[in-house]
Chain A
């Protein structure tokens, strides 16, 4: 049995964990909006803001660690733009036919910075927000509980498919299937492994219909909710603050000449 994958969620009771998930979602969207609309120097402030938030709940190191993979993306954006920014003239350093241009370097740093802010804020959000809470919070505000169910069951589907694939691998090995070794032998192992996974998933769909029918899913219009999503007064105040800040960011963006 694998542990349940609740996405990236790190259980905890920090002040950030205790915030209403919708408040956090709004804050996340604001940070991403600000990263793309505010003048580039603001990125420094936004990076610091996300880092301080993460540090305040003891997740700074965890966020940094999980940026290892996207860091490759940031680096490639930086390099490609530094060398190949179209129409750039102001060369800073030359390597034979290639040159790092001022325009390219600036654009690369800003683009990578925007993605860094968006990624790290999203990761911090996922670390501190349980998917079940977020969806229940959205359903409370009028989102469809059917769509919420589809999202939640898809999230759980991944570890269950992995469990199932593991069980199939074991069952076929127990019938003497060689799953290692040469490429041809691995290729031969594909049908016995993929076949039951596919057939099993089809049976699964039928039985899932049974399960949902038996549990009266969608039978009544007046669905109630068991999960309580806390919404303290502080959150309401925060949401007004974020709404005001959003207006501010948009106003700055409009006032600022593009380019």
Chain B
């Protein structure tokens, strides 16, 4: 609120008229010799020159902390007006001076979307439709135009059915689409997005990507920071940042290729890696048909020379065995039904048995009640009918705090639990609650920090770390309890490549130690690579439950699409090549190698 009027001494009707006039002349974003320094930090968070022309869709890649968000805030006109920082250089946004202009000049010129939905909503509107109208009201758009514009955007994001719902009663993924719609409806010539699809199911993510592509084709300038290769593949050019500086700005197939990513210690996206193996040129590296054709045409000797896939090394490196001996139980949901007070039934008689040492990924569209099911497994929610059993005994009358000894649950939002002044103290919270102290507790904390890769930040305040690192802190704080069953809700959201690999490694290590892991995920590659069993949910029911090779076999596309899912890229390629079901890169390369023998 207080920032709304800051620095807008010239904010008048004349000022905003000049702003929109300039926008129509010179749309796009131009950063020239920009450097951004946050107070109290030594190094510049960003040192960059970049142009995004009208009609262009530019992606921004780079590991966590590389400066992607700072770039988004700068190009969105938030630095230094809303976020305090020392800035040098010039920033032009839609023809307006991005560093000196007030909110009245930038309003209607640039729109910015962030990754977490709840705080992008106005928090004052009772329906989605009115939430979208909020920005239009502030821009002074005539009432008669509003419904038309709102309906058009709701339609483009496939959320027309949510129009009359309360924004705060929606699932995270649905809210995020409402947040995106709320910015798009304002019709700005420049659109900045900071990890817009982190919370979305694969179908939602594809929909948003297609929308950005269309908006660029209609003449908007779009800059989008993302980890998701699906989004980056649709960009015209992709900027790669490292320590606030541009490492590459090229077609996505080249910018995300191993020539650029390798020296940064990062892996190219799976499709690009396969394209490189098959000799597909960078500008077609994201063209699935081209990659499939090139793989098909590989000679038998080249097929036989295909390498073992990357990535496995980092996973194997996470050796771990539990300090606390505890037998892993069977956990079972029987005819489980649940409704939230005053709402409709959201779980309809679900049966699920997870045996000791299994790893199970629960997948399904936003709002399919995955989290509701998972929260029953440790007694946070109690069934309306049916039961949950741990080793055959009903947990109906056991307190959630006591079940936590056996079943650990890591929430999607780490900020709902972090409160200590250092990472180490935070991680020690769980063992302390279990009554463990002294040397054993210290050792549990050390091992959890090591496993989550947080040893170097153990003395740091969690809130000085980025959201993706805070998620790892929350994970470590549960790992330190060494629960026999580990339940993870969307563990990979917002993680960069190394972060996802780390979490995959933890899942593998846990399973190797004979313990159970259950994870909710929208990341099909992650699910296919690290879990032996996949449970597909749709509208409060389990519609499929099988190993990845069966779930992602060709012929299952309709079932997957019915709940917002898309098979991982290697499964799609395996189907194209008639190699059978190959959900992971390991599977695909192995089939290609053996197919050379025949």
Contact = CB atoms under 8 A, between A and B. Distances in A.
B104 A219 contact: yes
A209 B415 contact: no
Contacts of A222: 13, 140
A213 B124 contact: no
Interface residues of B, number: 83
Contacts of B166: 3-4
B585 interface: no
Contact of A172 (B136, B168, B417): B417
A65 interface: no
Interface stretch (A67-75, A89-97, A197-205): A197-205
Output the residue of B1, B342, B399 with the most chain A CB within 10 A: B1
B4 interface: yes
A195 B419 CA distance: 5
Contact of A219 (B76, B107, B408, B429): B107
B263 interface: no
B123 A220 contact: no
B80 interface: no
A133 to B, nearest CB: 10
A172 B415 CA distance: 11
B480 to A, nearest CB: 9
A164 B416 contact: yes
Interface residues of A, number: 61
Interface string B484-496: 0000000000000
B332 to A, nearest CB: 19
B399 A180 contact: yes
A152 B103 CA distance: 23
A196 B415 contact: yes
B111 interface: yes
B16 A220 contact: yes
Output the residue of B125, B400, B418 with the most chain A CB within 10 A: B400
Contacts of B106: 219
Nearest to A188: B433
A221 B13 contact: yes
B336 interface: no
A175 B121 contact: no
Nearest to A213: B82
A156 interface: yes
Given A160-B168, A177-B401, A211-B119, A226 B130 contact: yes
A168 B417 contact: yes
B169 A3 contact: yes
A237 B313 CA distance: 81
Interface in B476-513: 477-478, 481
B138 A204 contact: no
Contacts of A223: 137-138, 140
Nearest to A148: B124
Contacts of A208: 1, 119, 123
A76 to B, nearest CB: 33
A95 B16 CA distance: 77
Contact of B123 (A153, A164, A203): A153
A224 interface: yes
A192 interface: yes
B126 interface: yes
B419 A196 contact: yes
Interface in B361-420: 375, 378, 380, 399-402, 404-405, 408-411, 413, 415-420
A216 interface: yes
A255 interface: no
Interface string A203-240: 11001111111111111111111111000000000000
Given A173-B399, A216-B107, 19 more contacts: A3-B343, A6-B126, A164-B416, A173-B400, A174-B404, A175-B408, A175-B430, A176-B430, A191-B419, A207-B114, A209-B1, A210-B114, A211-B120, A212-B4, A214-B114, A216-B186, A219-B8, A219-B11, A219-B107
Interface of A: 1-4, 6, 130, 132, 146, 149-150, 152-153, 156-157, 159-160, 163-164, 167-168, 170-180, 191-192, 195-196, 199-200, 203-204, 207-228
9 contacts: A1-B343, A2-B341, A153-B123, A174-B378, A175-B404, A192-B417, A211-B122, A213-B3, A220-B138
Q: Which 5 A-B pairs have the closest CB atoms?
A: A195-B419, A226-B133, A176-B433, A219-B107, A207-B119
